Amino acid sequence: MRKVIPTRYFLVLGTFLLSLLLYIDRVCISAAKNPISESLDFSDKQMGWILSVFALGYALFQTPSGMLADRLGPRKILTTIVVLWSGFTALTGAAWNYVSIIIVRFLFGASEAGAFPGISRAVFSWFPLKERGLVTGINFSGSRLGAAFALPAVAWLIHSTGWRLSFLILGIVGVVWAVFWYLWFRNTPEEHKRISVSEKEYILENRQQVSKNVKAGITLKTMLKSKNMVLAMWQYFCSNFTFFFTLTWLFPHLQSKYGLEIIEAGFYASAPLIGGAIGNLFSGWLVDLIFKKGNWKMSRRFPAILGFTLVIIGLIGSLQMETVLGAIVFLTLAIFGADMTLSPSWSFCVDIGKQNSGAVSGTMNMAGNIGSFLTALAFPYLQAWTGSEKPFFFVGAAFAFLAIISWGFMKPEKGIEEY
């Protein structure tokens, strides 16, 4: 008898591809930094604002988009936002001056904001609690692989077609995904006609149960009163402060410091992102392994604390290296560690948010992307003020240490209104 592949596995494939596309579109601005600067005569500080304004738009719309995902369901929300961000990706190639590109990149960030909160809401409805860690790890590994693929591939695309046409091509790809998602996906297993009876029963019996006392909607004020929420936001800010460097300044930093050609820099800059993808998968596996042994709290805490420890080692170690290869090895370790924090972080949000997991994860991601916003500005400004890139890495290591302390107080078994 032929074995039927569970429907929820196809869902993971769809969200993995979404995550892949999300970061291909996001990181292409980094690979295009030099051609854009030369074409439109931008300084490094102006490029810092162009890179960071995406994170500002992304951060500000996290909570509202998460709430919409909870209310309307991830089918409509993810379809809509992918179409929107694909449009703004294409419009990036039409920018003619500083103001126009700032506006487009802000709207691009705002459009992307609902992606991971929408995915989190889908994960809550479709996956048993014991599968949550690995599913989250797979989804975020897609984002890192997308970025890793994009750096050399988009560098080649830009070299071959020019930066303007490159953004148009990437925008078209996004619309194709959105059409597929709307036609195939349904918000819950109960609504999906192609799912088997046995798989539906398995999901319903094993997914996280919701107390009748938990409200279906939640306000930002309520979330910010929760210690769990505030701690999750802070540690995710620290994680993103380190990671976002790879999407913004790592590529041009390597080009400038080591005198690399554009495609060569793309390959070196992709290594930490591949390390991040592996970190996501390893952490997701570790989260589920510890959970299945009966320790819910430690399944979230230990992978995150280990990850932040590796961030500190990697960032400080990279400063001791004199060659590009040595620096990349330690930066890859740092990003491996930073991405180890993602599966426990997003699993934690679904744990405490339950049917409000879109809003809760979106609020955490809002704080994280304020960290991203500051990263894109902190690197060029600290370098200009001090004449060195070292202060930036020391700041990132200090944030990682504070995040380790935060995880010691986080309680995944307590709902958003309990702690």
Inter-residue contact 269 to 151 (CB < 8 Å):
yes
Rounded-to-integer distance, Cα 147 and Cα 271, Å? 10
Rounded-to-integer distance, Cα 332 and Cα 318, Å? 9
Cα torsion 273, 279, 281, 285 to 10°: value is -170
Percent over 90 (pLDDT), the chain: 10
Rounded-to-integer distance, Cα 396 and Cα 250, Å? 14
Query: Which of 247, 351, 336 shows the shortest CA–CA distance to 283?
Result: 336
User: What is the pLDDT at residue 386?
Assistant: 85
Q: Predicted confidence band at 208 (pLDDT cuts at 50, 70, 90)?
A: low
Q: Say if residue 1's pLDDT is above 50.
A: no
CATH placement of domain 7-407? 1.20.1250.20
Q: Predicted confidence band at 398 (pLDDT cuts at 50, 70, 90)?
A: very high
Model confidence pLDDT, tens digit, residues 48-99: 788 778 878 887 887 787 778 778 888 888 898 889 888 988 888 888 888 8
Rounded-to-integer distance, Cα 133 and Cα 279, Å? 12
DSSP conformational letter for 97: S
More confident residue, 121 or 404: 404
Q: Three-state SS for 8? A: helix
- The separation between CA 138 and the C-alpha centre of its own chain, rounded to angstroms, equals 12
More confident residue, 253 or 342: 342
Q: Predicted confidence band at 337 (pLDDT cuts at 50, 70, 90)?
A: very high
User: What is the pLDDT at residue 165?
Assistant: 85
Alpha-carbon torsion 181, 184, 188, 191, what sign?
positive
Q: Predicted confidence band at 334 (pLDDT cuts at 50, 70, 90)?
A: very high
Model confidence pLDDT, tens digit, residues 289-312: 888 887 887 888 899 999 999 999
Rounded-to-integer distance, Cα 127 and Cα 94, Å? 41
Q: Which of 84-88, 134-138, 350-354 has the highest mean pLDDT?
A: 84-88
User: What is the pLDDT at residue 236?
Assistant: 92
